[in-house]
A and B are shown apart, each in its own frame.
Chain A
Amino acid sequence: MKMVYPRCCLLLLLCLPLIVGGEVRHHRSPETGLSSWKVEDRGFSLELVQLVPNYVKAVFASRGLPPEVVAEVGGYCVFGTIVRNLSDAPLSNLVADWRYITADGVAHAPKTKSAWVAEWRERGVAFRWLMLPEDQTYEAGDWGQGFTTVKLPPGTVFELAYAWSQHGETYRGSIEGLRCGPAEPADG
């Protein structure tokens, strides 16, 4: 018996591998009350850890950066972010294509490392570390960690639509229920 599918269904089936994400693991630290989320998606591993603004400010201040740089970063929703290539071929993390979708349906773009570094350079600061590069290609076994940032208030809940590429294809996945770190630590 021959089954006939509309062309759009066939197209959807072909595209499905490009938009389905992996299983998300959520962990809440009993000590700090802060959350982390981890997903392993076809060889792309992504982990995000909530950070509180004072922690972020202290990290930048301890690098000797000017107070205005420290204050600016502290006004963002910042996550400690680890990317790993668990596959056997190079992949690129596309941070600039990530979107933070808030409850009102608005998709917020991240502020990339390049944007931060350009801003710091204008202030005469040559520092270019701590932020996760948005255009890094990771070979098999490579990994990186750094901060990812978006201009959202503490405690904002959002869905992260992440993206990476491999073999010329762009892959997308999402993590629902992510939350920016609180303004103050729970024990604080």
Chain B
Amino acid sequence: MQVSWLRRLALLVGSMLVLSPAPAQMEVPELSHTLTRLAQPVAAPDFVIEDMDGEPHSLQDYRGKVVLINFWATWCPPCRREMPSLESLYQKFRDQPFAVLAVNQWESPDHVFSYMGDLSVFPTFPILFDRKSEVSEAFGVKGLPTSVVIDKQGRVVLRAIGGRDFAHPEIERTIRELVE
């Protein structure tokens, strides 16, 4: 049957996609280490979405902290590649007014949970679920991954399109300037 054949292939490719961006010959671009400062910071749109345990998280709850929001999905190869460095950055500033929110697009908690088990570094920051991509839309996100940094006043001040090495000293320095 066409449908079951397609479903089997989908499962196979779905798991392959977690490991590779596309057929093997595609070069894997290096992760960048720049965050672009917005010429004019804009107020971050508020949202309330749930985490893995169904607990609601509102952006308002993080007011007074620097918040890095990472829009991602399990099928997005650079999202997977940057995740360990995101955890490293989170740990580095854990005791300071800094938060990381990984806002997943379109996927279910069950799917993401099984994906997390395959990661070398398990993220300890909240994973939130934007099932209808409404939050990413409000932030003007067009592609994944995209990250934004919100300052303590609740304004979007930095933006990055494409995968980043968040453990890079340049990014750490930029975050430190905002946190301190």
Contacts and interface: CB of A to CB of B under 8 A. Distances in A.
A142 B24 contact: no
A127 B23 contact: no
Given A133-B143, A143-B162, A145-B78, A58 B29 contact: no
A38 B27 contact: yes
A141 B33 contact: yes
A49 interface: yes
Q: Which of B13, B23, B78, B163 has the most CB of A within 10 A?
A: B23
B78 A36 contact: no
Interface residues of A, number: 44
Contacts of B36: 139-142
A84 interface: yes
Assign chain B's interface to a size class: 35 or more
A146 interface: yes
Interface in B125-168: 132-133, 137, 142-144, 159-163
Interface in A102-146: 113, 126-129, 132-133, 135-136, 138-146
10 closest pairs, A vs B, by CB?
Answer: A141-B34, A62-B14, A29-B25, A143-B162, A61-B10, A58-B13, A80-B22, A133-B142, A139-B36, A62-B10
Interface of B: 3, 6-7, 9-14, 17, 21-27, 29, 32-34, 36, 73, 75-78, 105-106, 132-133, 137, 142-144, 159-163
